[in-house]
Amino acid sequence: MALVSANLLGLLGAALPAAAASPASSSASASVGGVYQNPVTPDDAPDPDVISVGGQYYAFTTGGVNGHIQEFSSPDLVHWTAVAAPGALVSEPGWVNPGLEWAPTVTDFNGTWLMLYATFDEWLDAECVTEATAPAVTGPYVNNASGPLLCQPLLGASGIVYGGDIDPDVFVDNGSPYLLWKANPGGFQNRAVIWSEPLAADGESLAPGSQATPLIEQDQSWESTIENPDMVETAGAFFLFYSGGNWWDSSYAVGYAVCAGPNGPCGKPSTRPILASAGPVVGPGGEWAFLDNAGQWWMAYGAWTSGSVGYPTGARSLRIDPLCFATGAEGGPATAVVVGPTASPQPLAQSCPSTDPNSQYQMVASDGGLFAYGGAAFFGSMGGRVLSAPVVGLAVDAGTGGYWEVGADGRVYGFNAPTDGDLDGDRLRGPIVGIAATPDGGGYWLVAVDGGVFAYGDAPYFGSAGSLLLRSPIVGMAATPDGGGYWLVAADGGVFAYGDAPYFGSMGSTPLNRPIVGMAAMPDGGGYWLVAADGGIFAYGDAPFRGSTGGLTLNQPIVGMADDGDGGGYWLVAADGGVFAYGSARFEGSTGSLTLNQPIVGIAVS
């Protein structure tokens, strides 16, 4: 984060969907290990560096509006207390501008605690990197340097002039320390660059004869600058995390590159950030990846809270969320996923979702047109054909990879999926509103607006709400993972469970801002989500709340949702085909910018 900024551009917008403060209920909060809720401290604490020493966690952060570096400690990642207030942790020489110290990183060099941080050199009139040392992790840290460790107002490369050096990160590779940092403020004329250079063995100077190597530069639409490098090695790769956008607004976000080593080369596997503004969480950035005492990866970061963005009234408070890694599929680049940003209670003990980059989903429109993304197969559709009734739902045949479209009259259309029967020609008391497939793809259920259930193929019939007097119409259904039951959901959020489907709760007795339009079940059958037309998400059982569009103004209402196959995330789809991805669900495309013949009515995962 550059406190002294120049040539920074206006809002470019991090292109991830926003989450909402919609109510959520989840038994996951009872998981062993406790519960955390962001922000973990209300204090202004951007640019955190979190380390574990002797079982205790320490967070070194920028002092924000007050300047100076501060330190917090926690025994459990949940409860944080101040170790040193801003101004009390580091003593500095006269050449450092008082109050301008930020972005600290702390490393143990054989019992000497070395803090590198960014400051402003009054004599050179430039942003620089300097160092302070302490005998203990809690300080006090003393800067005895006669000048900065690194300060290159003019660093030329490829004909581009880079000015200023900030945001240091120390990465140790097989005992050899490296300094990573950001140079140049950013903008179209002066692109920001992340650099790397070997350090001396004690970390207090650059290695003799070493040279700086550029790793990545600002080159994507959401990056009005790039800064705050943080490198870790895991999953067989070197991951370089960085922040981009403007730290003072919602454009700030976190991206990453995958490198061959601390000197690169590096490549960015995605054109989108992996952590961005979401609902009450605004401008997440200044990230730091760290391992907890149980060996689980986390990402610490600072972010504003919606409604309190900007100094002096706002605070970029300290937050954490799980960080997950996976080796690349079929030799592809390794991937990283942040399960956040979150603002509701979350379990500390989490299992990482799959980070398979080949997320696949299909959407269907009411005219039967089908749209496939992320490598999902297209076997044809009813688009352009004459229908006896509009299409209302979509289900995937797990056995063949094909899919079924179902019309409001109960007619089923199979594409590379055998049609095991339908209601075409049968008189219905109300239209069909949804379809769910059995786990083996050998059958499916149809559900009508009155709660009537119709089973075909190897799909067993377990009961229905067809004989009940409903307060609100049925709008969808979901099957249990073993095919031994199913849930129906009504527009008022009422949930009806049949077979081995457990009942975990509902919104049936709670006033809603907008009606429920669909549901999705956890792959383990231990929970489910309900989604409303405004994109509000309601989570039950072990289904985690990953975010929603409940606080956004949508172009078109949400019409359905699908889980990503491992319970780590989900997609919401709007009537215009806009797709919103949360948790480990990856955005692979949408029809949000297209002109559709008919609105989208459903989404399914292949």
pLDDT digits (tens, 9 = 90+) for 352-393: 655 454 478 999 999 999 999 887 888 899 999 999 999 999
Query: How much is the pLDDT for 7?
Result: 23
Fold of the domain built from segment(s) 27-36+45-345: Tachylectin-2; Chain A (2.115.10)
| Cross-strand pairs, 604 | 362
What is the tens place of the pLDDT at every residue in 430-444?
999 999 999 988 999
Query: How much is the pLDDT for 64?
Result: 61
Instruction: Give 23-91 as a DSSP string.
Output: ----GGGGSTT-EE-S-SEEEE--S-EEEEETTEEEEEEE-GGG-SEEEEEESSSS--EEEE-TTSSEE
Query: How does residue 187 score in pLDDT terms, banded at 50, 70 and 90?
Result: low
CB atoms within 10 A of CB 509: 9
User: Are 437 and 479 in contact, with CB atoms under 8 Å apart?
Assistant: yes
* pLDDT tops 70 at residue 573: yes
User: Are 547 and 18 in contact, with CB atoms under 8 Å apart?
Assistant: yes
Fold of the domain built from segment(s) 362-605: Methylamine Dehydrogenase; Chain H (2.130.10)
pTM of the model: 0.63
Query: How much is the pLDDT for 395?
Result: 96
Query: How does residue 160 score in pLDDT terms, banded at 50, 70 and 90?
Result: very low
- Of residues 350 and 106, more confidently modeled: 106
Q: What share of the chain is helix, strand, coil (3-state, %, to 5)?
A: 0, 45, 55
Query: How much is the pLDDT for 329?
Result: 52
Is the alpha carbon torsion for 295, 299, 305, 311 positive or negative?
Answer: positive
Residue 342 and residue 303: Cα distance in Å, rounded?
A: 11
Query: How does residue 112 score in pLDDT terms, banded at 50, 70 and 90?
Result: very high
- Of residues 413 and 594, more confidently modeled: 413
Mean pLDDT score, 217-240: 93
- Of residues 330 and 328, more confidently modeled: 328
What is the tens place of the pLDDT at every residue in 194-228?
999 999 999 999 999 999 999 999 999 889 999 99
* pLDDT tops 60 at residue 14: no
Of 49-53, 82-86, 421-425, 448-452, which range is least confident? 82-86
Of 42-51, 123-132, 594-603, which range is least confident? 123-132
Query: How does residue 2 score in pLDDT terms, banded at 50, 70 and 90?
Result: very low
For residue 287, CA distances in Å to 50, 154, 176 come to 10, 27, 23
Mean pLDDT, all residues of the chain: 86
* pLDDT tops 50 at residue 29: no
In the three-class reduction of DSSP (H, G, I as helix; E, B as strand; rest coil), residue 219 is classed as: coil
Mean pLDDT score, 467-472: 93
Query: How much is the pLDDT for 545?
Result: 87
The percent of residues in the chain predicted with pLDDT above 70, rounded, is 87
Query: How does residue 350 score in pLDDT terms, banded at 50, 70 and 90?
Result: low
Closest CA to 50 of 231, 254, 227, 288: 288
Query: How much is the pLDDT for 122?
Result: 64
Query: How much is the pLDDT for 236?
Result: 85
For residue 110 the two structure tokens come to 């054989």
Domain boundaries of the chain, sorted by first residue: 27-36+45-345, 362-605
For residue 239 the two structure tokens come to 């991951």
For residue 369, CA distances in Å to 303, 355, 366, 384, 409 come to 41, 29, 7, 7, 17
What is the tens place of the pLDDT at every residue in 276-308?
887 788 999 999 999 999 889 999 999 999 899
* pLDDT tops 70 at residue 583: yes
End-to-end CA distance of the chain: 41
Q: What is the CB-side half-sphere exposure of residue 45 using CA atoms within 13 A?
A: 30
The amino acid occupying position 219 is D
Of 149-163, 254-268, 378-392, which range is least confident? 149-163
Closest CA to 227 of 177, 274, 276, 181: 181
What is the tens place of the pLDDT at every residue in 62-103?
986 666 899 999 999 999 999 977 778 888 887 777 768 899
For residue 361, CA distances in Å to 251, 403, 506, 563, 596 come to 27, 11, 27, 10, 18
For residue 54 the two structure tokens come to 């002797």
Query: How much is the pLDDT for 125?
Result: 67
Q: Which range among 178-192, 487-501, 586-600 has the greatest average pLDDT?
A: 487-501
Q: Which range among 27-31, 174-178, 354-358, 543-547 has the greatest average pLDDT?
A: 174-178
- Of residues 179 and 353, more confidently modeled: 179
Mean pLDDT score, 551-560: 91
Residues sharing a CB contact under 8 Å with residue 593, sequence separation 6 or more, in sequence order = none
